[in-house]
Amino acid sequence: QTVVTQEPSLTVSPGGTVTLTCASSTGAVTSGYFPNWFQQKPGQPPRALIYGTRNKHSWTPARFSGSLLGGKAALTLSGVQPEDEAEYYCLLYYGGAQLWVFGGGTKLTVL
Amino acid sequence: EVQLLESGGGLVQPGGSLRLSCVASGFTFSNYAISWVRQAPGKGLEWVSGISGSGGSTYYADSVKGRFTISRDNSNNTLYLQMNSLRAEDTAFYYCAKDKYGYGELDYWGQGTLVTVSS
């Protein structure tokens, strides 16, 4: 069974920088996994932030960026705002098996 | 404005069936793949199933394969999820989400519909 792993929780100070990562049990994450990142706040559906590793949607704030880092997909928030406190999920595409797998989510606290 | 509206959730007994619907507007429905994603209360997201724009290709998570069937009616801009042999672990909010390019770029999401499987 394919497992996608994220940090369960992270804490960052307002104005600071934090990087969330997304690892695959199958090995290094590459652009071929088309990493996506989503933000979810309590009581709301997820909101798309990043697609295809590093591409932003039209509504994605500039402080969010996606990359590949050390064999993982990464989401970096620079100049964190209090409203960035949320759960963040990555999604990877496994083309060979034709399935998509979410990571377990990272709860980001801004404190 | 892109909108996705799910319906059909409710309380069902274990072993029962339910059909979810997702009505889309604000975009050319047949041009886009759509996925179902679920979230058990207080838990993380789980991709459940996806379907190509034409409906010719369908995909399922192992957890629902053989029990759930995804389909679409492009003439009525509607996506379906037929859920059979429901189990307690299927209890979740079910979201439909539009896929921008077909590789999981789930750019627009509905508000979700709650399915509760309990006796």
Render pLDDT for B57-86 as a digit per residue (tens, 0 to 9). Answer: 999 999 999 999 999 999 999 999 999 999
Q: Is the pLDDT of residue A49 over 90?
A: yes
Q: Which two tokens stand for residue B33?
A: 């793949």
Q: What is the pLDDT of residues A12-24, one digit of tens each?
A: 999 999 999 999 9
Contact criterion met (CB below 8 Å) for B110 and B6: yes
Q: What is the mean pLDDT of residues A89-96?
A: 95
Distances (CA, A) of B99 to A9, A47, B36, B104: 28, 13, 10, 6
Cβ distance of A89 and B45 shorter than 8 Å: yes
Phi, psi of A49 (to 5 degrees): -115, -50
Q: What is the mean pLDDT of residues A41-66?
A: 98
Distances (CA, A) of A107 to A53, A103, B73, B84: 20, 12, 37, 33
Tell me, what DSSP letter sits at residue A27?
A: B
Cβ distance of A105 and B45 shorter than 8 Å: yes
What is the overall mean pLDDT for chain B?
Answer: 97
Picking from B70, B103, B113, B114 by the largest number of A CB atoms within 10 A of its own CB, the best residue to mutate is B103
Q: CA nearest A108: which of A77, A68, A69?
A: A77
Phi/psi region, residue B98 (left: phi>0; alpha: psi -120 to 50; beta: rest), is beta
Q: CA nearest B63: which of A7, A24, A35, A2?
A: A2
Whether chain A has a CB inside 8 Å of the CB on B47: the answer is yes
Model confidence at A35, in pLDDT bands (50, 70, 90)? very high
